[in-house]
Structure 1
Amino acid sequence: MDIINALLDEIYEGLFPVAARERLLSHIRAARDTAKLPRKARWDEKDVVLISYADQFREPDQPTLASFSHFYQQHLQSTFNLVHLLPFFPYSSDDGFSVIDYHQVNPVCGNWQHIAALHSETRLMFDFVCNHMSAHSQWFQHFLAQDPGWDDFFISMPPATDLSAVTRPRTSPLLTPFTLANGETRFIWTTFSADQIDLNFANPEVLIRMVDVLLDYLNKGADYVRLDAVGYMWKTPGTNCIHLPKTHQLVKLFRAVADEVAPGTVIITETNVPHKDNISYFGNGQDEAQMVYQFSLPPLVLHAIHSGSARALRQWASTLNTRHGGTTFFNFLASHDGIGLNPARGILSEVEIVALVRELALEGALVSYKNNPDGTTSPYEINVTYLDALNQQNDDDDTRLRRFLLAHAILLAFPGVPAIYIQSILGSRNDNEGVRAAGHNRAINREKFSLHEMEKWISGDNALRQQVFERLSALIQLRTRQPAFHPDNPMTLLESENALLMLRRYSPDSEAGLLCVFNLSSRDVSAHLPEAKYFQDVISGEKIDGSEPLRLAAWQFMWLRS
């Protein structure tokens, strides 16, 4: 408790009320004393995460969590040992990220018993939507009704306040007017939308209630906890209001609470920002997030395959500190959101970013924009499935499959815990009809399915889906059998021509390792291996004479063991 007390003093500058402090600590002690679900210590090469909505699959008259559990048991359990369920709480917008009630399961999905049943089959990652909640929530309704004790739960700001320095991830207004019970109009801080009301963590009562949410998730068995949009939690007008010192202290507090109540719980920060800001959430390696989303990887892998050049990807990867000790990366290519472009800025030039955006837009991708402090807008993310992002509309399915598997072979080889989005393992294409129905770009990669139809498709009724599902599942399962891919093992980048990415993964404690070679181009390429000895490709079983040039066909890759 000493760490928690010290952080409360830092965050609230010694002004956290005594009675409120004791109430908070008593809640933490009670949760610690009743905690009964053990967590896995750290991570290893067997850990691969599936990212999915709880209502991804549907059957008549069935809670969607029951349908998801069925599909997971039958088709996914041998491939993924951890499931990230995107927010499964009652919500009013943004496909779950505008939470109405943090403590309830959306009735469409089921109830906490369905969560417990799924948790008996796999480890789970919960979303902690800690920056904002729904305008339809009881908390905000108490605020609007001017009920006693709720006045400072959200951030009111005079509309004339100079907020030009605030970092904006959207083009929507930062302040949204709401009418209180007495007829007064208040302008409320809404970073993401008018339906997503930012919480005021400067109020100790907000902190207590949000820690209670975290404690509830820990008690319900969350093995990983994802802190959504965490970089915006603390607001100080006159600053950029992102990554502020008190935001980092709040993350440290959440980490300390999890360590106290449920040791082994992994805290993951979701910050779609440039790499140097992203990794700042590692703290000193022991006191903040154990994992950060590797947001630079999706746009850089996409750029590498589109350009046929590993230059930018190799240069960035060579700077990664892969000897973190108590931390590692959460690696992914696709998610429920688009492909973020900010994490590529400073690595790719703006000319390269704009060229990539234009190329993808011509092939059916959508683009979302953000407001800049100078009043201009910039592309913020590309909205597209990763399968379609890698390919042109007139490509044949063999080409689509080869590029797609190449991208995921790179993902699986990088240091960290890999995560695969459900639309990727299912071989989904752009859902343009979903965009028209939902009215927002991100719906392009959030299609929901009939359980019966999907089971038919991956069994052979849809050739591309079947091939993607079977080939990617096999590649992931092969990856989990390679000790060299333990997240803590270092990575070394090797020099090669730009069409090739060559890296080595190995354990410092043994000679066992893998030499991974990827041809990013649409042409055959010869690679000169660094050692003149025999290798075996663990993917195909082919034996390779290292004294001879290695020839790789377009978009071919190998994981070589000596």
Structure 2
Amino acid sequence: MNIINRLIGEIYGSTFPSGHLQRLHALIAAARTGIHPPRKAHWDEKDVVLITYADQVREDNTPTLTTFSCFYRQYLQASFNLVHLLPFFPSSSDDGFAVIDYHQVNPPYGGWQEIADLHQHTRLMFDFVCNHMSAHSSWFSHYLAQDVGWDDFFISQPPTADLSAVTRPRTSPLLTPFVLADGKTRFIWTTFSADQVDLNYANPDVLLNMVRVLLDYLQRGADYLRLDAVGYMWKTPGTSCIHLEKTHLLVKLFRAIIDKVAAGAVLLTETNVPHRDNIRYFGNGRDEAQMVYQFPLPPLVLHAIHRGSSRALRHWASSLDGGGGSTTFFNFLASHDGIGLNPLRGILPEGEIIALAQDLAQEGAQISWKTDTDGTSSPYEINVTYLDALNKQQDSDDTRLQRFLLAHGLLLAFPGVPAVYVQSILGSRNDIEGMKVTGQNRAINRQKYALCDIRRALATTGSLRQRIYTALSQLIQVRKGQPAFHPDNPMRLVDSDDTLLVMQRQAKDPQDTLWCVFNVSASTVSYRLPEPRDYHDAIGGEKIDGKQDMALGAWQFRWLRA
């Protein structure tokens, strides 16, 4: 407990009451006795994550978690051994991220028993929505009612406060007016929307309540915990209020608690920011998050395929360091959010970032904007399915499939643990109607399905959806059988023409080492491997003479073993 006491001291100094410290240790001690069995000790090449909503598939008169569990076992279990269930708690907006009650399952989804039933078939990742909660929550109702003990749970500022330095991820107002029981108006800190009120971690009572949430999720079986919007947790007016030192200390405290009660559980931080800020959440490699999102990967892969050039992707990838076994990257191409552009800043010139956004907007994507500190706006996120992001509207299905598999071949080859969004494995296109109905750009990539409809679509031979589901499922199976793709194995990039990206994934056994060659262009390209020997393609099984030039067709890739 010395680490926990030290971190509490660094965060709160003398403002953390001794009684609160005793309650904190009592919570931790109680949780240690109730958490069984132990988690998987580490990650390996067989770990592939599915990102999905708890109500992704539906049928009448059945909890959606029950329906999803059935669908998962039939269509997805062979590919994915860990499921990231996006927030499944009662919520008032933002598709679950405005949490009303952290400790309950949204009734239409089922209850904790349905979560436990799904956990019998897969490991699970829960969202720990640690920065904010719903303005319709009981916690905020207590605050508005000015009940005893709730006054400092949220953050109020006078409307005249100079908050110009605060980093803004949205164009919505930072402060939202609310009327309290005494009839007076307070302006409450709302980083993401008027319905999402930020918690005040400077109040020790808030920390205790959020630790209870953290421990509850571990006791409910969470193997991974995703810290949503974690970079904004601590606020100090006059600063950027993002990535502050006390935010990092809070993450270290969460990590210390997790290590104490649930060894093997993994902490994943969600910080959609430039790469150098993102990897700071690794801490010293052993005291903060074990995983961080690889946020530059989705837009850089997209940029490479759109431009037919791997130059920017290759240059960025050459500098990656996953942490030597104690940390690794959480790699993905698509998620419930859009394709973030902030991580590109510092990697690509601003003109190229804007051009990429404009190109996609012409093909039906939606662009979300943020307010910069100088009052101007810049593109923050592209809202689109990854399938449609890769292609033009007039492209053939064959071209769509080739580009899509190339992108996922890159995803599955990069060092780290790969994650695939459910819309990707299901071959989903832009949901324009859903976006119109909700009025939300992100709904374009959040379509939900009746179970009978999605089963029928996946059984339709020759359809793009069926072809993508089959081909991507097969590619994941091949990936899981390659020891070279263990997340801890190093990647060596080899100089090549810009139309190619060539990497070697070096396994402990040289016989398992892979050469991965990707043609990101629309042209046929020839390439000779640096090591002249005979190879076979782990994907297609063909024999390749490494002493001669190898031809790769448009958007073709190979994973080659000696």
- Where on the TM-score scale, by shorter chain, does this alignment land: which range? over 0.9
The answer on whether the counterparts of 1:305 and 1:520 sit within 8 Å (CA) in structure 2 is: yes
The residue aligned with 2:242 is 242
Deviations 1:220-252 (A, max 9, x none): 000000000000000000000000000000000
The residue aligned with 1:170 is 170
The residue aligned with 2:24 is 24
Letter in 2 for 1:56: Q
Q: Does 1:367 align with 2:338?
A: no
Q: Does 1:488 align with 2:488?
A: yes
Residue 323 of structure 1: CA displacement? 4.3
Relative to the length of structure 1, the TM-score reads: 0.99
Letter in 2 for 1:205: D
The residue aligned with 2:148 is 148
State the alpha-carbon separation in 2 of the partners of residues 547 and 30 from structure 1. 63
State the alpha-carbon separation in 2 of the partners of residues 235 and 25 from structure 1. 26
Residue 508 of structure 1: CA displacement? 3.9
Residue 140 of structure 1: CA displacement? 0.1
Residue 14 of structure 1: CA displacement? 3.2
Q: Does 1:418 align with 2:426?
A: no
Higher mean C-alpha displacement, 198-207 vs 2-11: 2-11
State the alpha-carbon separation in 2 of the partners of residues 131 and 144 from structure 1. 19
The answer on whether the counterparts of 1:322 and 1:491 sit within 8 Å (CA) in structure 2 is: no
Q: Does 1:433 align with 2:433?
A: yes
Residue 13 of structure 1: CA displacement? 1.7
The residue aligned with 1:551 is 551
State the alpha-carbon separation in 1 of the partners of residues 343 and 244 from structure 2. 18
The residue aligned with 2:540 is 540
**Secondary structure of the equivalent of 2:109?**
coil
Unmatched segments (≥5 aa) in structure 2: none
The residue aligned with 1:112 is 112
The answer on whether the counterparts of 1:538 and 1:560 sit within 8 Å (CA) in structure 2 is: yes
The answer on whether the counterparts of 1:322 and 1:489 sit within 8 Å (CA) in structure 2 is: no
Residue 36 of structure 1: CA displacement? 1.5
State the alpha-carbon separation in 2 of the partners of residues 96 and 462 from structure 1. 35
The answer on whether the counterparts of 1:231 and 1:271 sit within 8 Å (CA) in structure 2 is: yes
The answer on whether the counterparts of 1:230 and 1:271 sit within 8 Å (CA) in structure 2 is: yes
Residue 511 of structure 1: CA displacement? 4.2
**Secondary structure of the equivalent of 1:66?**
helix
Letter in 1 for 2:540: S
The residue aligned with 2:519 is 519
State the alpha-carbon separation in 2 of the partners of residues 400 and 165 from structure 1. 43
Q: Map of 1:334-373 to 2, 5 A cutoff?
A: 334-373=334-373
State the alpha-carbon separation in 2 of the partners of residues 462 and 171 from structure 1. 43
Higher mean C-alpha displacement, 46-55 vs 453-462: 453-462
**Secondary structure of the equivalent of 1:418?**
strand
Q: Does 1:286 align with 2:290?
A: no
Letter in 1 for 2:546: G
Deviations 1:135-169 (A, max 9, x none): 00000000000000000000010111100000000
Q: What value does the CA root-mean-square deviation take over the aligned residues?
A: 0.8
Deviations 1:387-435 (A, max 9, x none): 0000000101000000000000000000000000000000000001011
Deviations 1:55-83 (A, max 9, x none): 00000100000010000011111110000
State the alpha-carbon separation in 2 of the partners of residues 308 and 510 from structure 1. 32
The answer on whether the counterparts of 1:323 and 1:490 sit within 8 Å (CA) in structure 2 is: no
Higher mean C-alpha displacement, 531-540 vs 299-308: 531-540
Letter in 2 for 1:333: L
Letter in 1 for 2:504: R
Unmatched segments (≥5 aa) in structure 1: none
The residue aligned with 2:40 is 40
Higher mean C-alpha displacement, 24-33 vs 386-395: 24-33
**Secondary structure of the equivalent of 1:225?**
strand
State the alpha-carbon separation in 2 of the partners of residues 542 and 351 from structure 1. 42
The residue aligned with 1:123 is 123
State the alpha-carbon separation in 1 of the partners of residues 320 and 508 from structure 2. 17
Letter in 1 for 2:14: G
Residue 461 of structure 1: CA displacement? 6.1
The residue aligned with 2:58 is 58
State the alpha-carbon separation in 1 of the partners of residues 282 and 323 from structure 2. 12
**Secondary structure of the equivalent of 2:551?**
strand
State the alpha-carbon separation in 1 of the partners of residues 290 and 194 from structure 2. 32
State the alpha-carbon separation in 1 of the partners of residues 369 and 15 from structure 2. 40
State the alpha-carbon separation in 1 of the partners of residues 72 and 48 from structure 2. 14
Deviations 1:509-532 (A, max 9, x none): 544200000000001001121111
Give the % identical residues: 69
Residue 322 of structure 1: CA displacement? 3.4
The residue aligned with 1:376 is 376
State the alpha-carbon separation in 1 of the partners of residues 391 and 244 from structure 2. 39
**Secondary structure of the equivalent of 1:164?**
coil
Residue 325 of structure 1: CA displacement? 2.4
**Secondary structure of the equivalent of 1:176?**
strand
The residue aligned with 1:195 is 195
Deviations 1:350-401 (A, max 9, x none): 1111111111000000000000000000000000000000000010100000
Residue 556 of structure 1: CA displacement? 0.3
